[in-house]
Amino acid sequence: MRRIPIAVMLVLMAAGCAATPPKPAWVPAEGTFTAPKSGYSLVLPAGWTRVNREEGLMITRDGATLQVIGVNRYKVGTPLQHTKKKCEKGMLPQELAGILVDDLASAVNVASVEVLENAPARIGDVEGFRVVVRLRFKGGSDRKCAFYGAMRGDQVFDVYYTAAARHYFDRDLGVFEEMARSFRFLPPS
Amino acid sequence: MNLPAKAVTALALAAALAGCASTNLSPHTGPRLALEEDEKRIWLQSEDGEKRLNLSGLVEQSPELDSYLVGIVRKLFPDIPFEFRIRVMKDAGMNAFALPNGAIYIHTGLLARMENEAQLAALLGHEGIHTVNRHAIKGNRELHSKSAIYAAVTLGGWGGSLFTMASVTGYHRDLEREADAEGFRRMAAAGYDPSEAPKLFRILGAWIEETGVKDPYFFSSHPKVKERIESFESLTASVGGKGIVNRELFLAKTRNVVLETAGLDLKAGRYESALRGADKFLSIAGNDAKGHYIRGETLRQRNGTGDGEQAVEAYLRAISADASYPEPYRALGLIHYKNSEKVEARKYLEKYLILNPGAPDRPYVEGYLRATQ
């Protein structure tokens, strides 16, 4: 069998790359975003960009280091990322909020968490909570984070917004609130 | 904030060049502090890192505790031409580190698990020797193992780089051995019971086993724990005798740190550690409402067999210790609320709001009260 010269092989490889361009990492965020597997939908603000994936929403306007809005899901009975605590069936929204705050506080890069607001709230027509915290990181940066959360079935959802405490958080809080109001759980399939 | 890559490279290069200089440096003892040129830079950078660390919100604000710690280190190092600063960092982990300029940081987790002043003296002796024997500049000049890179990277920022690298990477193994041996001699010379030194490392070893930490900070480049315990036992045998332990004073000075660490362990869901901490605090402080409350919270959240009943008992003890402390009323109210025991729930929740009218969770509690009408 004849060996293919390296130069030819490189050209073929380059052509292959050209034929199937890589999927862009970020795409414009607008209209209704539906995550069928995760079981929710919400309306995205115009002028923002979102991470280009079907599930697991994350959007930003000026860059992920400045502000991010997204949705997290936690399985009931499974330890969270930073705390070993678990969300359990029958927990009150206040208890769920406490566990999510403890998870933030237990992150290795977080120096302190100050709860600024914590109150009952509805999300997707389910009784839940709304929390606002100030996060101080060990690296010195100061951020605020607002999140709505609720338990549905065997999952806890949180719609969160995190941004640099100075300037950015207040500027885009209204956008986040509007987005959170548009959050809907999809009917169970 | 981490150092930009260029600055790190420059520091590493400076460290490499400094490697040509002598490592035969006498300790910082005597009436006058004499720093070499490259060492002065390290001290300046350490001072900057120390300032930022102290403003980070991570450091305990307890002048009484700081002064107690400095008093011990002065007994250990009466012959040095600078002042040590000892600060406690709010972190449930078992760690401590010394900056080259005399700033020593101890995590609350380590302090909370110690049993007496002699064990603390063993730790401070070890950390103090790193500074007095100029281990940072020696490490730089030797470019030994990771020490030079450690110094170059750590001294630029206080955040991830400073204390992570200082504690994770540590000094070279030979310098750690020197700190163990000389720190031990200082501890014994100051009159402390030397047999407490190996016990400190046994406590650390037990914590490593319990938490399953794969790469325990304090030991990542240190001689292994077992080896250190054996080494301290042989050092103890060589000096013999008894000495100061100061258990009661130490526990009185550190009891708030014990409670705080129990709270941090509870947040992180380390229920066994939190329970031990709450029990230790109660054994020191006696009938204390906050201690009983943390104990109750830990049991309630752990939710094992019989924990619910024990939690209720702990909350009731908290109320009996201080009837004006609001938290246990809320906890009891919520337990009754979840059990649909409306009258009892109302009784405790109303009391909670009376005692704490500005409660941050008032909107929730008002909702529970409405639901029990």
Residues of A in contact with B360 (CB under 8 A): 115, 118
Structure tokens at B7: 């600055």
Given a cut of 50, whether residue B344 has pLDDT beyond it is yes
| Element (DSSP H or E) covering residue A26 | strand A26-35
Give dist(CA A131, CA A124) in Å, integer.
Answer: 16
Given a cut of 60, whether residue B313 has pLDDT beyond it is yes
State pLDDT tens for residues B65-111. Answer: 999 999 999 999 999 999 999 999 999 888 888 998 999 999 999 99
State pLDDT tens for residues A35-71. Answer: 999 999 999 999 999 998 888 899 999 999 899 999 9
Residues 6+ away with beta carbon under 8 Å from B60: B66, B87, B88, B89, B90, B108, B257, B260
State pLDDT tens for residues B16-52. Answer: 444 446 778 889 988 888 888 888 988 898 898 888 8
Q: Residue A97 CB: number of other CB atoms within 10 A?
A: 27
pLDDT at A168: 93
Of A84, A109, A119, the CB nearest to B269: A84
Of A106, A115, A120, the CB nearest to B268: A106
State whether A85 and B269 contact (CB < 8 Å): yes
Interface of B with A in 55-94 (CB under 8 A): 56-58, 90
CB of B38 within 8 A of CB of B14?
yes
CA dihedral A52, A54, A56, A57 (to 10 degrees): 60
Structure tokens at B325: 């402390």
Residues 6+ away with beta carbon under 8 Å from B277: B112, B258, B259, B261, B262, B265, B294
DSSP conformation letters of B67-108: HHHHHHHHHH-TT-SS--EEEEE--SS--EEE-TTSEEEEEH
Given a cut of 70, whether residue B216 has pLDDT beyond it is no
pLDDT at A7: 55
Mutate to test the interface with A, among B364, B366, B368, B369 (most CBs of A within 10 A): B364
Residue contacts between A and B (CB atoms, under 8 Å): 63
The more confident residue out of B143 and B354 is B354
Interface of A with B in 115-174 (CB under 8 A): 115, 118-120, 136-141
Of A102, A115, A120, the CB nearest to B364: A120
- Domains of chain A in sequence order: 24-185 (3.40.1000.10)
Residue B64 exposure: Cα atoms within 13 Å on the Cβ side = 8
pLDDT at A10: 52
Q: What is the ipTM of this complex?
A: 0.83
The pTM of the full predicted model, rounded to 2 decimals, is 0.84
- Fold for the domain defined by B255-371: 1.25.40
CB of B72 within 8 A of CB of B124?
yes
Tell whether B2 lies on the interface with A, counting CB pairs under 8 A.
Answer: yes
pLDDT at A18: 52
User: Alpha helix (H) ranges present in B78-224?
Assistant: 108-113, 117-132, 135-142, 147-154, 165-168, 173-189, 196-211
Structure tokens at A148: 């709505």
Q: Which residue has the tokens 């006696």?
A: B286
Task: Enumerate the domain spans of chain B.
Answer: 5-239, 255-371
pLDDT at A150: 97
State pLDDT tens for residues A79-90. Answer: 999 999 999 999
Structure tokens at A47: 């002028």
Residues of B in contact with A131 (CB under 8 A): none
State pLDDT tens for residues B241-270. Answer: 689 999 999 999 999 999 999 999 999 999
Closest Cα in chain B to A115: B360
pLDDT at B159: 38
State whether B360 and A118 contact (CB < 8 Å): yes
Instruction: Report chain B's mean pLDDT, rounded to a whole number.
Output: 84
pLDDT at A21: 65
State whether B2 and A137 contact (CB < 8 Å): no
Give dist(CA B307, CA B304) in Å, integer.
Answer: 5
Query: Residues B319-346: what's their mean pLDDT?
Result: 97
Instruction: Name the pLDDT band for B153 (thresholds 50, 70, 90).
Output: very low
The more confident residue out of B156 and B191 is B191
Query: Residues B289-308: what's their mean pLDDT?
Result: 97
Percent of chain B with pLDDT over 70: 83
Structure tokens at A143: 């951020």
